[in-house]
Amino acid sequence: MFLYKIKWFIYLLCFYTIGYSGKDLSEEHWIAADDLHTITINMTAENIKNTLGEPLFIESSFDVDDGVVTTKYYYNFRTKEYDRESLEAGRSNFSDLPNTWGRSTNIQFVFNDDRLVLWEEDKLTLMMAKDLPKEGSSLSTFNFFLNIIVITLNAAVLMSL
């Protein structure tokens, strides 16, 4: 019975380390600054959805005094950081330059009666936004091993039931 548990432990460990070993496997949709160039004031909510995809969150309210329906679409947003030497080389096409992900936050699009009136970074999320950890940091490595331990302990508890 003990060897059976060790065998399953090894299978789960391989599954979690190999199965989820890729970078940026997030299911969430992110928009980049390049996606915002096609957005203009007075676009409809449907046009925004067609351009940027489904929003992360939708919030609507009705103002009784004005009779205006205000809807906010929230999207995940992150910036790109480019190497200084690559930028100084004077290339005009940035899509093939090596980059890393910079600050991540939310962008909210505000509609009055289904017409876009403004968009801005969500102020609360912007205040809490921080840089993503750089590759190879000791904190991310510690976090990875801590996750493996927690997952292993959960699997061991479930197998003992």
Q: Residue 20 is encoded by which pair of tokens?
A: 């989820």
Indicate whether 161 and 103 sit together in one domain: no
- Backbone φ and ψ for 107, nearest 5 degrees, come out as -115, 135
Indicate whether 39 and 66 sit together in one domain: yes
Indicate whether 54 and 17 sit together in one domain: no
Range from 29-33, 96-100, 129-133 carrying the lowest mean pLDDT? 129-133
Indicate whether 143 and 118 sit together in one domain: no
pLDDT tens readout for residues 50-82: 998 889 889 998 888 888 899 999 988 877 777
The amino acid at residue 55 is P
Indicate whether 94 and 15 sit together in one domain: no
Indicate whether 96 and 112 sit together in one domain: yes
Indicate whether 83 and 150 sit together in one domain: no
Indicate whether 125 and 142 sit together in one domain: no
Indicate whether 19 and 36 sit together in one domain: no
Indicate whether 72 and 96 sit together in one domain: yes
pLDDT tens readout for residues 74-116: 988 877 777 777 666 666 666 666 666 677 778 889 999 999 9
Gap between the Cα atoms of 127 and 133, Å rounded? 17
Indicate whether 44 and 116 sit together in one domain: yes
Q: What range defines the domain where residue 92 resides?
A: 32-130
Number of domains in the chain: 2
Indicate whether 42 and 94 sit together in one domain: yes
